[in-house]
Structure 1
Amino acid sequence: MGTHVIKMPDIGEGIAEVELSQWHVKVGDLVVEDQVLADVMTDKAMVDIPSPVHGKVIALGGQPGEVMAVGSILISIEVEGAGNLKESDKPAPVAAKETPAAPKVEAVVESKPAVAAPRPAAAVCQGPMVAREADERPLASPAVRKHALDLGIQLRLVRGSGPAGRVLHEDLDAYLAQGQSKASAPVAAAYTQRNDEEQIQVIGMRRKIAQRMQDATQRAAHFSYVEEIDVTAIEELRAHLNEKHGASRGKLTLLPFLVRALVVALRDFPQMNARYDDEAQVITRLGAVHVGVATQSDVGLMVPVVRHAEARSLWDSAAEISRLANAARNGKASRDELSGSTITLTSLGALGGIVSTPVLNLPEVAIVGVNKIVERPMVVKGQVVIRKMMNLSSSFDHRVVDGMDAALFIQAIRGLLEQPATLFVE
Structure 2
Amino acid sequence: MARFTFKLPDIGEGIAEAEIVGWHVKVGDRVEEDQNIADMMTDKATVEMESPVSGTVVEVAGEVGDQVAIGAMLVVIETEADAADNAPAPAATVEQKLGGADEAEAFEAENPGVEEVAETVSSAAPAPAAAAPSAPQTSPADIAPSAPAVSPAAPVLASPTVRARAKDLGVDLTQVKVSEGDRIRHADLDAYLRYAGGQGYHAPHASRARADEQVKVIGMRRRIAENMAASKRHIPHFTYVDEIDVTALEEMRADLNDNRGGRPKLTMLPFLIVAICRTLPDFPMLNARYDDETGVVTRSGKVHMGIAAQTDAGLTVPVIRDAQDKNVWQLAGEIGRLAEAARTQKLKPDELGNGTITVTSLGPLGGIATTPVINRPEVAIIGPNKIVERPVFRGDDIVRAKLMNLSISCDHRVVDGWDAASYVQAVKKLLETPVLLFAD
Report the TM-score when normalising by structure 2: 0.80
**Relative to structure 1, is the Cα distance of residues 125 and 11 closer, same or farther in structure 2, using a 3 angstrom cutoff?**
closer
Aligned to 2:408, what secondary structure does the other structure show? strand
Question: What are the superposed Cα offsets for residues 117-141 of structure 1, whole Å, 9 maximum, x if unpaired?
Answer: 43356x955438x8xxxxxx99465
Q: Note the C-alpha offset of 1:13.
A: 4.5
Question: Is 1:173 matched up with 2:162?
Answer: no
Decide whether aligned partners of structure 1 residues 177 and 398 sit closer, same or farther in structure 2, where only a CA change above 3 A counts: closer
2:136 to 125, 144, 147: 147
Structure 2 CA distance for partners of 1:395 and 1:178, relative to 1, 3 Å: closer
Q: CA deviation at 1:334?
A: 2.8
Match of 2:93 in 1: 114
Against the structure 1 CA distance between its residues 138 and 20, is the aligned structure 2 distance closer, same or farther, given a 3 Å change threshold? closer
User: 2:225 aligns to what?
Assistant: 210
Cα RMSD for the two superposed structures? 3.1
> Where does structure 1 lack aligned partners over 5 or more consecutive residues?
91-111, 131-136, 152-156
Corresponding residue to 2:422 among 382, 404, 408: 408
Q: 1:127 aligns with which of 105, 124, 130?
A: 124
CA contact (8 A) 1:34 1:120 kept: no
**SS at the partner of 1:252?**
coil
Map 1:289-304 → 2, pairs under 5 A: 289-304=303-318
List per-residue Cα deviations over 1:78-133 (Å, max 9, x = no partner): 4453124644243xxxxxxxxxxxxxxxxxxxxx5434443356x955438x8xxx
Match of 1:280 among 286, 289, 294: 294
Query: Alpha carbons of 1:85 and 1:75: their partners in 2 closer, same or farther (altered >3 Å)?
Result: closer
> 1:244: which partner in 2?
259
Shift of 1:267: 1.9
Deviations along 1:190-243, one digit per CA (max 9) or x if unpaired, are: 544x37211111111111101100000010111100011111111111111111
CA contact (8 A) 2:100 2:344 kept: no
Letter in 2 for 1:339: G
Q: For 1:85 and 1:186, how far apart are their aligned partners in 2?
A: 52
Alpha-carbon separation, structure 1, partners of 2:19 and 2:264: 39
| Structure 2 spans left out of the alignment, 5+ residues | 102-119, 141-147, 151-155, 166-182
Aligned: 1:162 with 2:149 = no
**C-alpha displacement at 1:329, in angstroms?**
3.0
2:168 matches 1:188: no
Distance 1:349 1:62, change over 3 A: same
1:348 deviates by 0.2
Aligned 1:5-84 pairs, distance under 5 A: 5-84=5-84
2:9–2:70 CA contact under 8 A, matched in 1: yes
Indicate the residue corresponding to 1:224 in structure 2. 239
Report if the CA contact (8 A) 2:99-2:344 is conserved.
Answer: no
Q: 1:199 corresponds to which residue?
A: 214
Structure 2 Cα separation of the partners of residues 33 and 320 of structure 1: 38
TM-score (norm 1): 0.82
What displacement does 1:5 show? 1.9
Percentage of matched positions with identical amino acids: 47
Taking the aligned partners of 1:365 and 1:158, their CA distance within structure 2 comes to 51
Counterpart residue type for residue 163 of structure 2: R
How many residues get paired? 389
Consecutive aligned runs of 4 or more in structure 1 exceeding 6 Å deviation:
148-151
Instruction: Indicate the SS of the match to 1:174.
Output: helix
> For 1:421, what is the secondary structure of its paired residue?
helix
Q: In the TM superposition, what are the counterparts of 1:368-407 in structure 2 within 5 Å?
A: 368-407=382-421
The 3-state SS of whatever aligns with 1:347 is coil
* Distance in 2 separating the partners of 1:299 and 1:26: 23
Asked if the contact 2:139/2:188 (under 8 Å) is kept, the reply is no
Q: Could you tell me whether the CA contact under 8 Å between 2:8 and 2:74 is conserved in 1?
A: yes
Distance 2:212 2:128 in 1: 15
Shift of residue 425 of structure 1?
Answer: 1.4
Deviation at 1:176, TM superposition (A): 5.0
2:3 aligned with 1:3? yes
Classify 1:262/1:286 alpha carbon distance in 2 versus 1 (closer, same or farther; 3 Å): same
What SS does the aligned partner of 2:215 have? coil
Aligned mate of 1:325, from 323, 331, 339:
339
